[in-house]
Structure 1
Amino acid sequence: MTAAINYIHTRTLVENSRSVAESQELMVQLEGLLSNITDAETGQRGFLLTLDESYLDPYESSASLVHSDLRKLEELLHENETPLGRLPDLNRAVQAKLDELRETIDLAKDGDREAALVIVQSDVGKRLMDEIRTILGSMQETEAEDVRKRLLETEQSFQSAVASAVLSTLVGVALLGFVFYLALRNIRQEQAATAEMTAQRELYLTTLASIGDAVISTNAEGDVVFLNTVAESLTGWTTADASGRPLTEVFRIINETTRATVENPALRAIREGVIVGLANHTLLITRDGQEVAIDDSAAPIRDDAGEVIGSVLVFRDISSHKFSVRRLEASEARMRSMLNSALDGIISIDHRGNVIEFNKSAEKMFGYTRDEVLGNEMANFIVPPSLRGRHRDGLERYLKTGVGPVLDQRLELTAVRRDGEEFPVEISITRIETVGPPLFTGYVRDITQTKFAEQQRQESERRFRMLVEQIQDYAIFMMDPEGRATSWNVGVRRLLGYEEDEFIGLRVFKAAFTPEDLETGIDEAELRQAATEGRGGDDRWKLRKDGSRFWASGITTALHDEDGNLLGFMKVMRDQTDRKRLEDELRKIAADLSEADRRKTEFLATLGHELRNPLAPIRTGLEVMKLARDEPETIEEVRLTMERQTHQMMRLIDDLLDVSRITRGKLELRRSMVLVGDVVGSAVEAARPFVNDAQHELTVELPEEPIEMYGDPHRLAQVFSNLLNNAAKYTPVGGHIWLTVRRLDDDVVISVRDNGLGIPAEMQESIFEMFTQIDRPHEFGHTGLGIGLTLVKRLIALHGGTIEVKSDGPDHGSEFTVRLPVMTESAATSVLLEDPPSGNPPLKVLVVDDNEAAASMLSMVVSMLGNEVRIAHDGSQAVQVASQFRPEVILMDLGMPNMNGFEAAREIRKQEWGKTMVLAALTGWGQDEDRRRSREAGFDHHFVKPAEPAELQRLFAAVSRN
């Protein structure tokens, strides 16, 4: 009987040992399946980003292994009904994931990478991976539960076998020894499985602890099982204290408005078996009774059979966010109800800048008492030394001109405290309307904490989105306390270029940080920050193995044991180079658009001002003429005034119409052989009233020999009168203006020089652009419309000439030099064409510019000149379009992304079909070095933006003739 019992127990031990081994093999197979799917996705991502087909090798290899893994799982599960029931769902999800990967690869191979990236950026792939991980996790949990049951049965069988062995014979003793051997082997296997499960659990807990949000898990009854560190911090409960307690006791939530108890989302997730979305206006009551504004969500946890066995609750503190929103709303309400919004500190000054009021909040903010600052200059106390000169100049300018751009505005400036600390403030300055000299009041608020909180909030949200939405794109690895790598994932290969055997043991920060960061010790500072504060982050340039740089964002998290000893670090890193470049480009585009809008606004305001100036005396003159019917002298004086003002208005309108005609290619030149001296005389006569009004001395130097040229005398006189008027406008009263004419080879050179305000160096490139004007004191009179020099440049271009400006800077005067060709009438007739040549067949023209608006406008002009047009927006696209379109002329910008104009020209010239094309560089770069580079790259012509219609006409005519 005893032997039979021992046999039964022995058989149980053997079967349990076999089952435990099979479970371990199954769990290893499940891990291998997930790893192969992840590697397949990594190969797909690499191919889509680079179109390098070498990335398809790991994809194809991993995809084939996935199918063999599924067959192996089916063999291992043929007698295990519970996990076997999940196998169809797993097969479906895995096949759907492989189909999604293959679809995107096929699209990219067919040339439609944009469509493939749209699929990648959607949540389809992520949702499938989440479903696969959920199924695999459920199957692993089922096997782990089976292992625990086998361990319990083994222990019971072993105890029964020992008890029966005492009464058995020597044969039983021998059998017991065999049973003991089997049990001991089984226990060791169980201990190994338990150790592996413990390690996985530790990794799981470490991951949860590293998540920025709070996490609480429960069982099916709604009792607390686990809290991560963030949840412990927010609720005030530790996992030890909360374990086993009802979730409603640990996680107490109420409605922010009604104060009514809110249904717990985790309990609803258990009850209904669905994911419960974010709740609004929810307050968490902490263990010590404090209230914290949160948003939360919950999801059910299911076993292999699909039964709900618990829930997981995720929430975060949004108090700072809600506080910022509410304060912004309150600030906007105050702005609507009051013209001037009072802030924390109130400071009033007189017209000399001396303090006449300094309230308590200002005392606290700046560290001075009211008695210390009253009667003293404010700038010496609260304005940083580097800004005091600008403050005093601005006050002096306002007292002289009444122009105060900082008045009635909310500004962010820098202030200084008594101890010398500089800090950001928000300030609103208003003028106090009083009899006598003006007084000013400033409302000041210290925004140090606000700016810091906003920066922290934005950084936190950015990292959270990055971690949750793009986890598959991260390089994640572990380091020991010295910063040496102890683990590796495929993201390390993609981001840093290291294989696993190269990476393990490498001091990663020393290898990946740039030399300039290593020199300042940023790598060591990040590890120290993570060790002392729990985490450290950085957004900066990093180095790959091959020395190339990429913009990386990452988080370093410290790992500690139960006693608080530092075990090492976990680093999460992602390549954000494309986003960094895109942000830089967007900032540049936004600045360009803002500048264009500012110029348009200034032009419209100036236009209204300039048109009203002559209207006012005309309107007044009409009234005077009504009242002075019998006073001929008065009427004649009024008539002359009205005539001058009418001519001024006509000149403004004519300039506007001329610019419009030139822009649309409608301006016609009436050319004839003219003497340059006659043109200059007409210009001087037209500008003489402006020169005399400003009491300027005008010196005109003409050569002894008359110079004859072919041109429109009216338009040429308009050019030089505009230049003289411009010089008079920007030269102080009593200044000097020189107009000089000389012959230089086949050209006539006319220069207009003055000793006036001069032109800043940064504006000398843009001075000929539409609506561009130089700031000048208002006492100089009207400012004009900012179109005169634009009109001058375009009229000169229509005559085949050029204009240049030279100035040594403010208060050093300026000189405009015009260079025009001297031609006979017959030569001019054959070269200078007013209209597109008739009878020429239309040309095929390719316009290339990364600025879509500029490319569109230029293509319209080219098309209106009777040509067939195509457009490309970068160099590589230009090569592709040219190979198909085969244009006779290519107008191409030089500075473009992907492939610039120089590279594109060289690539086109390499092709047989591109050797005879006419390439014209159309760019904002017009220096001699730029022209040399374009010529070396294969360009036939070099035009400086904006493209003049006359230049394009001559180019197309020459190509048609050839």
Structure 2
Amino acid sequence: MSADKSLQRLPGSEDPTAEFLSLLAHELRNPLAPIGHAANVLRMLSGDERQGKWLDVIDRHVAHLARLVEELVDGARVQRQQVTLRKQWVDIAEIGREALEAFQPRIDALRQHLVAQLPAGSIRMECDPVRLRQVMDNLLDNAVTHALEGGTVELTIDRQGDALMIRVRDNGVGIAPEAIAHIFNVFSAATFGAETHANRLGVGLAITRSLVELHGGTITAASQGIGRGSTFLVRLPTSTPPPEALVSRFPSMHKTASTRILIVDDNADAAEALCTLLSLEGHVVKQAHTANDALYAVTAFDPAVVLLDIDLPDLSGYEVARRLRARVGHERLRIVALTAFGSARARARGQSAGFDEYLVKPVALDVLERALVLPEKGLEPGNSPER
């Protein structure tokens, strides 16, 4: 899809730069999805450890490219003060464990040593769980990058009084004393030395500071100098959760052994890779590549879940969702957006169109599996927070 065509489909933008970055992100995300799904398919089909090693390489670099795309878009949002929070009561220790699990393959590949000190119990606080996970991801990414091969990365999460403390430390390249004051500025990567940041945008720490401050917290950086490592400390205010606050981020779910899933995507490679992956997971899966084919397939195939792209050649995914919601007999149909459009405006349109969940490509398999789970009767499904 060309940028000109996309601009014609998304009129009324008051910020051409933000609109261009959104469209650019869409075009960059789209090819990452089938690459990631294809790697997962190969991993499930092959027991060869040598092949698994190179599939891990693909996974790490898909994740890295996806992170660069998000930094590109979030950097523009931060500068325009367009980042919003969707707060809920969550277990911070759970978020920390998820972040460590995601970084473990990269840490292992670099033969680094991970030291984690997480609370034995839960620490509940009201925050945006996606954005707080992004804070941890950015700090861990920074530490893993600077610790270099064979180094040590530490993550500590604890509560001190009425404050939550998140500390990330590495023993790597360190920060020059004169650079500390500018470390959270956009393009601050240059202050660490070009040799370790040739492939980085230098906006991750700026985004991190903005997200921490939106939560009412502070972040500081410390280092004893070049070659002496660095420490980043986040302080976030906490309060006593109400009795009805949930411990888990996810509502009670009922999962069937096999789910009937319809994938709607005009990118044949993306649809085929995801179809194969979900079939190997034990689901019954069909594909459609146009909106009209999708509307017919819902009647003929009777899926429990529809994974629906937004940018289709005949009708938009929004219109497909609206039409499906208007049909009698499909009230329990779960409609999940699986798209490369990740802006707040696109998400708002998805919510009004009737999507149960909104996922932005590329999506990790565990995240996708959670989106497929059907809520127990009587629960209202919720939209995933903006990334």
TM-score of the aligned structures, taking structure 1 as reference length: 0.20
TM-score of the aligned structures, taking structure 2 as reference length: 0.47
Structure label with greater radius of gyration = 1
Select the structure with the greater relative contact order (CA < 8 A; seq sep ≥ 6): 2
